[in-house]
Amino acid sequence: MKYLLLLALLISCAGDKPGFVQVDDPKIKFVEEPMKNTALFVVLKNSGGKDVSLVKASSTISEAVELHEMIMDGGEMKMRPVDKMVVKAGSSLELKPGGLHIMFIGLKEPLQLDEKKTVQLFFDNGQEFTLEVPIQNVDKDMHHHHH
Ligand SMILES: [Cu+2]
């Protein structure tokens, strides 16, 4: 019982500080024709006291924009849509190759390296971002940033 009270107190305290998201290092993976799909990677930081979720991304560069995750299915990596991506209070979430990503399906025009494209991100705390995202060789970058 005491534990429950304490928990309730902790939750109400955390509630005093809303979630606050910052967006860092967004990039769109460069792909060449005939590929019609690509992905956006970005680091989402939540410096607030409440979890915040990315609930939607939009752009005019493709027919559809979806939030995706990678899963193992019968020894095979597959991706599938998710409703949201949760950025925990006080931590960050990295969208990266092989993991969570924002998927562009059906590119309307060929991509050009280093060109920037406008992408909007929407979070469930009401935050919205309009980003000018550079098109980069993401796979090459990954080798440099290996942890
Ligand atoms: Cu995907």
Q: How far apart are CA 104 and CA 58, in angstroms?
A: 9
Q: What letter does residue 9 receive in the DSSP assignment?
A: H
Backbone φ and ψ of 5, nearest 5°: -60, -45
Ligand 1 midpoint to CA 97 (Å): 10
Compute CA 78 distance to the chain's CA centroid, rounded to the nearest angstrom. 17
pLDDT tens digits, the chain, 147 residues: what are they? 566 666 665 555 555 688 999 999 999 999 999 999 999 999 999 999 999 999 999 999 999 999 999 999 999 999 999 999 999 999 999 999 999 999 999 999 999 999 999 999 999 999 999 999 999 998 755 555 444
Cα 94–98–99 angle (5° rounding)? 40
Cα(47) to centroid(ligand 1), Å: 27
Overall pTM > 0.75 = yes
- Specify whether the CB–CB gap between 41 and 97 falls below 8 A: yes
State in Å: Cα 104 to ligand 1 middle.
8
Q: Which residues surround ligand 1, an ion (CB under 5 A)?
A: 68, 79, 103
SS3 117: strand
